């Protein structure tokens, strides 16, 4: 079956530091990959996505590249801000098998950015 | 442009009570699902639906029922609430597409449930 593994948090950084949150996946087909962000007390919002190998998703300074050879979709940002403090979820949705398209999520990684 | 609407946002129940969390989407999405979010556990799938009249169990279905009589609505019923069901619940919807927006999942704002 499908699965997503994220690095455990919390990740604690100072403002303007470089961010990497690792995400690897297992899927039977050719999934689409997503990063969602959850700010305190809110629901999940789509941050970025990639639908095929070597695609790069980007938004708000965050980037992630779909690496089929390493089954990874690591999230990066060159300079984090205090306002980036949130929980980040990696997810996949399997296109190939014509299955349910119900996504599979990682456990989430909490990011705390200090001034 | 409502998207996915969940109600109520907050609810306190006594053990043994029943209740229904409502979820509605106005995007004509085929797929709808319910997740619960607990500290350290991430999002766990409770039930899902791939279309009106079709539902299936997810990872943690015990103690919950769902139905999908229309494309728009996907209510989650707690049959006899237990303290272990204290959690934050999220409804989500998506659709099948190979286009640029395909398979993006849209979430409701969440329902905070406490069972005492």
Question: Nearest CA to A63 among A50, A53, A51, A52?
Answer: A50
For residue B84, the model assigns a pLDDT of 96
Residue A82 phi/psi, 5° resolution?
-55, -35
Contacts B92 to A, Cβ<8 Å: 44, 103
Q: Is B112 on the interface with A (CB under 8 A)?
A: no
Distance from CA of B22 to the nearest CA of A (A): 16
Residue of chain A whose alpha carbon sits nearest to that of B32: A102
Distance in angstroms (rounded) separating the CA atoms of residues A10 and B112: 23
Distance from CA of A69 to the nearest CA of B (A): 22
Residue window 46-85, chain B: list those with CB within 8 Å of chain A.
Answer: 48, 50, 56, 58
For residue B97, the model assigns a pLDDT of 64
Count of helix runs (H) and strand runs (E) in chain B = 0, 11
In this prediction, residues A87-110 reach a mean pLDDT of 78
Token reading at B73 = 């609505």
Q: Which of A21, A101, A109 is the best mutation test for B, with the most CBs of B within 10 A?
A: A101
When mean pLDDT is compared across A36-45, A63-72, B76-85, the lowest value belongs to: A36-45
Is residue A53 scored above 70 in pLDDT?
A: yes
| Residue with tokens 């999940």, as numbered in its chain | A44
Question: Nearest CA to A57 among A109, A92, A17, A27?
Answer: A92
Distance in angstroms (rounded) separating the CA atoms of residues B70 and B91: 15
When mean pLDDT is compared across A36-45, B86-95, B97-106, the lowest value belongs to: B97-106
Inter-chain touch B45–A102, beta carbons under 8 Å: yes
Distance in angstroms (rounded) separating the CA atoms of residues A67 and A109: 20
Question: Nearest CA to A66 among A74, A54, A81?
Answer: A54
For residue A101, the model assigns a pLDDT of 66
Distance in angstroms (rounded) separating the CA atoms of residues A48 and A75: 9
Q: Helix, strand, or coil here: A98?
A: coil
In this prediction, residues B40-51 reach a mean pLDDT of 89
Is residue B78 scored above 90 in pLDDT?
A: yes
Question: Nearest CA to A35 among A6, A68, A12, A2?
Answer: A6
Inter-chain touch A51–B100, beta carbons under 8 Å: yes
In this prediction, residues A53-79 reach a mean pLDDT of 96
DSSP state of A72: B
Is residue A35 scored above 70 in pLDDT?
A: yes
In this prediction, residues B55-59 reach a mean pLDDT of 91
Contacts A45 to B, Cβ<8 Å: 107
Q: Is B99 on the interface with A (CB under 8 A)?
A: no
Band of pLDDT at residue A30, cut at 50, 70 and 90 = confident
């Amino acid at each position: 079956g499908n699965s997503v593994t994220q690095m455990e948090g919390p990740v604690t950084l100072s403002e303007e530091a470089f961010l990497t949150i690792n995400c690897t996946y297992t899927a039977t087909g050719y999934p689409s990959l997503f990063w969602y962000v959850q700010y305190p007390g809110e629901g999940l919002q789509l941050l970025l996505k990639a639908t095929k190998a070597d695609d790069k998703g980007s938004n708000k300074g965050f980037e992630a590249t779909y690496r089929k050879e390493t089954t990874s979709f690591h999230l990066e940002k060159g300079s984090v801000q205090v306002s980036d403090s949130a929980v980040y979820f990696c997810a996949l949705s399997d296109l190939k098998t014509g299955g349910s398209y119900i996504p599979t999520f990682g456990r989430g990684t909490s990011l705390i950015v200090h001034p | 442009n409502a998207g996915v609407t969940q109600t109520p946002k907050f609810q306190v129940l006594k053990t043994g009570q029943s209740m229904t969390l409502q979820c509605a989407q106005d995007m004509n999405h085929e797929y709808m699902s319910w997740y619960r979010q607990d500290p350290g556990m991430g999002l766990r799938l409770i039930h899902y639906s791939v279309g009106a009249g079709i539902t299936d169990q997810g990872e943690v279905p015990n103690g919950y029922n769902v139905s999908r009589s229309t494309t728009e609505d996907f209510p989650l019923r707690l049959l006899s609430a237990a303290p272990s069901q204290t959690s934050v619940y999220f409804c989500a919807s998506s659709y099948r597409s190979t286009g640029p927006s395909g398979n993006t999942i849209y979430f409701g704002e969440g329902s905070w449930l406490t069972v005492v």
